[in-house]
């Protein structure tokens, strides 16, 4: 399936506009939207090969698609973990059987994925995995806990980094397993309510959950190498689309500053100009590094730039509104969840930007060790 636009694409646009006008942002609606995208071949356009029901596109076309998707105000994707993280990993490390089994449902928007990496007590230390997977015949029995698992409450599958060698330490003896989430009594998902009142993240408890032996990606004991490959896919084209959303948020903050008169303060004006200039610089930096390879520091630099920029924007969003930013958009009631307006949500949610996806400290350590060649930081024993 190629990237050329056809009459079917125009029909897709019409269908998409109708869907957006008629549906709210519920879990079922997001799943329906994924299937709509998959039916039109718009999932997996960045994969290096077609044949799974997806189109393929050049890097420039991928950028155009991602930016236009963001500009259109289309719904947030619930299938991005399977499309942008799992699929590229399977294409590199997976067997032909694994690719044939898992890539078509991702491309069709039929199966949603979550990522079982972070654990309590380990923070951003991915090598501190304690979740154990014990081989029992043709399957593995998994016991342990993952945390901050995005969209686990909606996912059909989870790729889990687990320790398959009981005597191993740190990055040795880990395996990358594909685990079905529909295992009542063996997998429990507990949503984590955040400051924003929403619960995109979850705790996931594995109590003897099963994964088939043929669903170990890259072979037993090779989980660290597979996991590191996957982390390299977390940045790229999607960062440019993210910046479209950042630009819209910045525009809203500027309009609020004009409305409240905060823009008359030279300090506020300087901060607004700085946010605009840094956003432009981040765009050019991403374009400079997009498609490149062999630069181990580029993803960490990008994460440091956008996370801190976005956090400062959240602070500025409430500053320019003054006292009104402390009041919610609706009357508060003890029995009802509180509501936030977009600026309040931005301010609160952005507090986590410098933590999730690898904290600022972790990103600086990567740059220090892998780019600058500084001595490695001593690690504790897991």
Is residue 237 very low, low, confident or very high in pLDDT (cuts 50, 70, 90)?
Answer: low
**What confidence score (pLDDT) does residue 8 get?**
57
Strands 113-116 and 202-212: unpaired
Residue 209: both structure tokens together: 């959950």
Strands 157-163 and 113-116: parallel
Is residue 303 very low, low, confident or very high in pLDDT (cuts 50, 70, 90)?
Answer: confident
Q: For residues 198 and 192, what is the distance between their CA atoms, to the nearest angstrom?
A: 8
Place of tokens 């901050």: 148
Give per-residue pLDDT as tens, 319-342. 999 998 888 777 776 766 678 889
Confidence check: pLDDT of 278 > 70? yes
Residue 296: both structure tokens together: 């181990």
Residue 261: both structure tokens together: 């008169």
Q: For residues 47 and 49, what is the distance between their CA atoms, to the nearest angstrom?
A: 5
Give per-residue pLDDT as tens, 71-96. 888 888 889 899 988 998 999 999 99
Is residue 114 very low, low, confident or very high in pLDDT (cuts 50, 70, 90)?
Answer: very high
Arithmetic mean of pLDDT, 42-69: 87
Q: 9-24: buried (b, 16+ CB within 10 Å) or exposed (e) per residue?
A: eeebeeebeeeeeeee
Out of 188, 220, 234, 369, pick the active-site residue: 234
CB 84 within 8 A of CB 106: no
Angle in degrees, CA 84, 89, 94, rounded to 5? 140
Q: Is 34 designated active site?
A: no
- What interhelical angle do 237-260 and 59-71 show, nearest 10? 30
């Amino acid at each position: 399936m190629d990237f050329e636009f056809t009459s079917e694409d125009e029909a897709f646009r019409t269908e998409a506009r109708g869907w957006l006008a008629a549906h709210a942002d519920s879990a079922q609606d997001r799943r329906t939207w994924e299937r709509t995208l998959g039916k039109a071949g718009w999932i997996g356009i960045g994969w290096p090969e077609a044949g799974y029901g997806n189109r393929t596109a050049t890097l420039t076309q991928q950028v155009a698609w991602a930016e236009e998707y963001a500009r259109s105000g289309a719904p947030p994707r619930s299938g991005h973990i399977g499309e942008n993280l799992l699929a590229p990993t399977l294409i590199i490390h997976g067997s032909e059987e694994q690719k044939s089994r898992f890539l078509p449902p991702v491309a069709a928007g039929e199966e949603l994925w979550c990522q079982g990496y972070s654990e309590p007590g380990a923070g951003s230390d991915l090598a501190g995995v304690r979740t154990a997977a014990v081989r029992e015949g043709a399957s593995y029995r998994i016991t342990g806990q993952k945390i901050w698992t995005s969209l686990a409450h909606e996912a059909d599958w989870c790729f889990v980094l687990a320790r398959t060698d009981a005597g191993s330490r740190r990055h040795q003896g880990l395996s990358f397993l594909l685990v079905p989430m529909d295992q009542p009594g063996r997998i429990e998902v507990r949503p984590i309510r955040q400051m924003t009142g929403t619960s995109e993240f979850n705790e996931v408890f594995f109590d003897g959950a099963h994964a088939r032996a043929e669903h170990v990606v890259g072979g037993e004991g090779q989980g660290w190498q597979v996991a590191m490959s996957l982390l390299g896919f977390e940045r790229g084209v999607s960062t440019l689309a993210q910046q479209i959303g950042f630009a819209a948020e910045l525009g809203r903050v500027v309009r609020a500053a004009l409305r409240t008169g905060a823009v008359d303060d030279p300090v506020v004006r300087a901060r607004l100009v700085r946010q605009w200039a840094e956003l432009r610089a981040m765009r050019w930096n991403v374009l400079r590094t997009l498609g490149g390879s062999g630069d181990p520091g580029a993803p960490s630099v990008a994460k440091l730039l956008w996370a801190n920029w976005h956090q400062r924007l959240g602070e500025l969003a409430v500053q320019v509104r003054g006292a009104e930013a402390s009041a919610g958009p609706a009357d508060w009631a003890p029995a009802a969840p509180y509501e936030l307006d977009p600026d309040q949500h931005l301010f609160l949610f952005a507090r986590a930007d410098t933590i999730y996806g690898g904290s600022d400290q972790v990103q600086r350590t990567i740059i220090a060790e892998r780019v600058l060649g500084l001595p490695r930081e001593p690690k504790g024993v897991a």
